[in-house]
Chains A and B, each alone.
Chain A
Amino acid sequence: MSNDEESRAGVLSRSLQPGPLRVSHDVFARVAIDPDTADLVPAFLARRRSELVSLMHAFGRSDYDALRKSGHNLVGSGAGYGFPRLSELGAELSAAARDKDRAALAATLATLSEHIVAWHERYG
């Protein structure tokens, strides 16, 4: 791992620790939860949060196929549950996995975990 990669993975693992997390405010900027599906959101976010661990393992194992597939699923569900940013991050994850671009993967995973944890804390 390069230094850069390592520090990003560090962010990722730190964000998985319990406890308060300081996040930039724009994490919540585009969240738009539809009242019709609001009751599904807490479980959805809980599943996303626990999925972060398996994403990290997949990253460690260089299992690009699993990362690509998860990214694909996030594209499909994120915006629908009210998190358009999640769909975008899913697309980035998928693309980085397809290119086997480890630096981009580490960056995306870090951003992803930052967002998911913040959302889960607020809407979960």
Chain B
Amino acid sequence: MITDRTPSSSPAGDVTAPLVLVIDDDEDTRALLHRWLTGDGYRVECAESGESALRSLHRMLPDAVCLDLELPGWSGLETLARIRAHHPRLPVVILTADSAVGTVVSAVKSGAWDYLVKPIDRTKLSTTLRNAVERSRMAVQLAQLEREASGHPPMGLVGESPAMRSLLRQIDRVAPTDVTVLIQGESGTGKELVARAIHECSARRAEPWVAVNCAAVPETLQESELFGHERGAFTGAATRHLGRFEQANRGTLFLDEVAELSPSAQAKLLRVLQERRFHRVGGGAEVASDFRLIAASHRDLADEVAAGRFREDLYFRLAVFDLAVPPLRERGGDVVSIARAFLAERAAPGARPLRLSSETQMCMMSYPWPGNVRELRNAMERASVVAASDEIAVADLPQRVRQPAAAPAPEVRAAASVAAAPAGGRTLDDLERDAIVDALRKAHNNRTEAGRALGIGRSTLYRKLKKYSLES
């Protein structure tokens, strides 16, 4: 050995370090760039072809890409075009051994950030990447500023609390990419709205938005719902049916309550995420779909994994980027802003929306909202019907909101059930079951209505119906 090598500090563990994706088919070049870039403090991922790079882009969020123009399979230019289509803000630095001006010009015209001619000069590479990463991070900030200046929260996500701002920032960051997102949060916190906002802020916004509530699909039908089936695949399959994955081609697929998937649907989902192709139930040709997946669950999926109910490998595929939607009680004054937004929505055109008295505001802020934003929406709908003036008084709020201590909502009781002692020989579960039966009776078995009365979402209700064997 000629020289002692000072070990370059590896930032591999530092997840805040900018991530660079190197796409080059030459192993020696990849090894070299990997060493140089980790030395500069980047995290580095390598791919040997455009195809594999595009596959892994779904599960990473690079700040910049180094792309060799001469690749087997998809050419460098083709790879560039595909990256640009899915990740328009991601800066791509072209590496070329070919001083042929033509290719470089077309690359720059198709949106390459810059180009370097091989053999690559280490200092030039450092400078170019530093600029690229800076611009990539600035683009995210800019999008944020623009949004804030326009005053329009994406997709009606109201809230200025620190928790909400941080959520919006993360949405800005992940939306323009194709990265798989996992959204976790209690029922009614707005998970679907967040998913929708991600779709609307992405390059796929003009393409299909397909939402599936896995809890509402019986286990036996989950696979055919998601992946479709061929004619005659099972009794009753009279025609070929396109599954949700196919419907979401070029667009976004939202799998709500993903923890409710059966083990075999989980296995199939895992394969689709790995390969982006699948077979419809009942065989037939392999089908490919270009989808972006967003999954959500009100359960903590890590707990589900620990309990053996959810596949660990699938969890890691889904949780590439995970977003926690905070419960309403952790969002401070957002309760009032969201309530105002709901009242404004309900106001007749041209009319002034109902106001909230200051005691009403106080009362709303001290109530824990176990059914979260959905419960708040229902409370405002009810209040605007019963309000006697143009101001909503405390008396117009539902009983449980007015006296949180005296009459907790079923969800509060459920939430407290960890510390629960049986009351008069009855458990909190018994009480909850009764409340559900009662609400269903009053709503003449209309589940949506019963859920509304209880202040819980449809999927929560389905889950509880299952839990208490009240499904029929």
Contact = CB atoms under 8 A, between A and B. Distances in A.
Contact of A73 (B2, B6, B29): B29
Given A36-B35, A36-B39, A37-B32, A75 B8 contact: no
Given A76-B68, A76-B120, A87-B118, A38 B1 contact: yes
Interface of B, secondary structure class, is loop
Interface in B1-34: 1-6, 8, 24, 26, 28-29, 31-32
B93 to A, nearest CB: 14
Interface string A18-62: 000000000000000111111110101001000000000000000
A72 B349 CA distance: 68
Contacts of B321: none
Nearest to B119: A79
Given A40-B35, A73-B29, A80 B3 contact: no
Interface residues of A, number: 27
A76 B24 contact: yes
Contact of B28 (A34, A38, A77): A77
Contacts of B98: 72
In this complex, the member of A35, A37, A77, A94 whose beta carbon has the largest number of chain B beta carbons within 10 angstroms is: A77
A115 to B, nearest CB: 15
B36 A76 contact: no
Given A36-B39, A87-B118, A75 B28 contact: no
B44 to A, nearest CB: 14
In this complex, the member of A35, A44, A69, A123 whose beta carbon has the largest number of chain B beta carbons within 10 angstroms is: A35
A24 B456 CA distance: 84
B441 to A, nearest CB: 74
B32 A77 contact: yes
A33 B32 CA distance: 12
A73 B5 contact: no
Given A44-B28, A73-B28, A38 B3 contact: yes
A38 B97 CA distance: 23
B119 A38 contact: no
B386 to A, nearest CB: 73
B240 interface: no
A39 B95 contact: no
Given A35-B5, A79-B120, A81-B28, 11 more contacts: A35-B3, A35-B4, A36-B35, A36-B39, A37-B5, A40-B31, A73-B29, A75-B119, A76-B26, A77-B32, A90-B97
Interface of A: 33-40, 42, 44, 47, 69, 72-73, 75-81, 84, 87, 90-91, 94, 123
23 contacts: A33-B2, A33-B3, A35-B4, A36-B5, A36-B8, A36-B35, A36-B39, A37-B35, A40-B32, A40-B35, A44-B31, A72-B98, A73-B26, A73-B28, A75-B97, A75-B118, A76-B24, A76-B28, A76-B95, A77-B29, A77-B119, A87-B119, A94-B97
Closest 6 CB pairs of A and B: A79-B119, A77-B28, A75-B97, A73-B26, A87-B119, A76-B118
